[in-house]
Chains A and B, each alone.
Chain A
């Protein structure tokens, strides 16, 4: 199986979010960057497991500037065979999907995996766009993926339940919790990652569909109203009469 895993670089989950330039730019100063958890923990690890079981290759692809290479190397350390970086700012989901689909079309992959969403822009759209651009099946929010020859069986989450879905390669799927268990890179993996191929490709021209014009932080919460543990009825009263939520 020839597998492509799309990886995104995102701020570490502990990052305190701040903006500059009159709330038009995300403040990256002092921010640690990581591989998007869904891409790394579930999509990449499941790809590696499939390769280990039936042979093949795992390529990771990222659309980003040269500074993202450190993050890309992390995916190589976990076990991807090679990496591709499309040298461009990932400023709009459609733009990114077009770049990846363009590369994937040339290389013909059997399986293309993404995480269910990135933890920075929370789009949940790249996988579906790639599937449409390449006219492939798409299974979103998959919590299980089993390969049997060319046939893939998924478990995917739906409101209040699960669906068992089947399709054949080639396909695109987005991965979430349940699909695999996070792997921690070992010393050997980290050493090997330094010499694994990381190809850089030029982007294609794509006009942007959307642009962020400004950011905003949520309004700060007022002080918490504390209720005495011996007076739980008062809480119920507040929820009923003041917050009006019950």
Chain B
């Protein structure tokens, strides 16, 4: 059984989530005694392509042509589906990230393949093929059985710890015939929020709530995030009031994240907020109200005024980093 995995790149570089999918696919390939074939779309140097071997790709199919330099779910899913067919792969793995969410459903239709989106663990392949994913926005998990012959799994970012297993990947240039009808959208502009860590990929996240009183007080949040190398997030009212940009809003109706460390400052811990963050491995809560519900969902907590605690925390982390 062959496992085909789409390794997404931006500006010629693979993302952390791509390495996660490669590692996941190669572990799955081992389970089903198969091989791991990675697909790279767009201009990527061979040196970068080689890095996929480090996480377990046996073979890397590289598809590059100018029209594929910007993202279009229609064209990308065609490329991946064609390669899956020609390689005879019947399991496809990709990341449950922004582009993965656009490609996976199209692939599911093209290949008549059952799709589990947002998997958090390796499938259970004893007997039937079962995949675990989060449901009810982080409040529970479901085990899905995929009944179809072809199977697609999109992996939730930050669900597998990266480890190298040094395979040397064979790099093969592949060509897929694409006509104009295979494209549907035109990317006019890409706006990068420079230097910021994408929230879904961040391993450490510092988040602020209404307890911080106003946008002018986010300096200390950003400073703490900076010394940690963390991404910044917020509760919903904070984004609704325009204190912080919309994309920082985490929770049931915002982005769901599962970092290693989530530090919640001045956030009460409403059920809708917890839904999006309770997949975090370690949760720290800083709140002046000892009765704040968030403490029940936390691993560590400080009952105290954020305006006093946060600057001290930043200093203490600076000291740790310096030592």
Chain A interfacial positions (CB closer than 8 Å to B): 11, 13-17, 19, 37-38, 93-94, 97, 119-129, 131-133, 136-141, 143, 153, 156-167, 171, 174, 177-178, 208-218, 221-222, 224-229, 232-233, 235-236, 238-240, 243, 245-246
Contact = CB atoms under 8 A, between A and B. Distances in A.
24 contacts: A17-B139, A17-B140, A119-B137, A125-B104, A126-B105, A138-B74, A140-B98, A141-B98, A163-B187, A163-B189, A163-B190, A209-B112, A209-B146, A210-B147, A216-B140, A218-B139, A221-B299, A225-B300, A226-B302, A232-B302, A236-B317, A236-B319, A245-B260, A245-B282
Chain A, interface SS category = mixed
A129 to B, nearest CB: 4
A159 B189 contact: no
A134 to B, nearest CB: 10
A132 B103 CA distance: 10
Interface string B290-306: 00000111111111110
A132 B105 contact: yes
B97 interface: yes
Given A94-B114, A128-B101, A13 B252 contact: yes
B115 A213 contact: no
B256 interface: yes
A13 B137 CA distance: 9
A232 to B, nearest CB: 4
Nearest to B77: A132
Interface of B: 10, 15, 17, 71-74, 77, 96-99, 101-106, 108-110, 112-118, 128, 130, 132-148, 184-193, 196-198, 200-201, 204, 228, 239, 246-247, 249, 252-254, 256, 260-261, 271-272, 275, 278-279, 281-285, 295-305, 308-309, 312-313, 315-317, 319-320
B192 A161 contact: yes
Nearest to B201: A159
A212 B116 CA distance: 10
Given A165-B185, A236-B317, A213 B191 contact: no
Contacts of B228: 246
Nearest to B281: A245
Contacts of A164: 187-191
A16 to B, nearest CB: 8
A137 B74 contact: yes
Contact of B115 (A16, A209, A232): A209
A226 B185 contact: no
Contacts of B302: 226-229, 232, 235
Contacts of A210: 114-116, 144-148
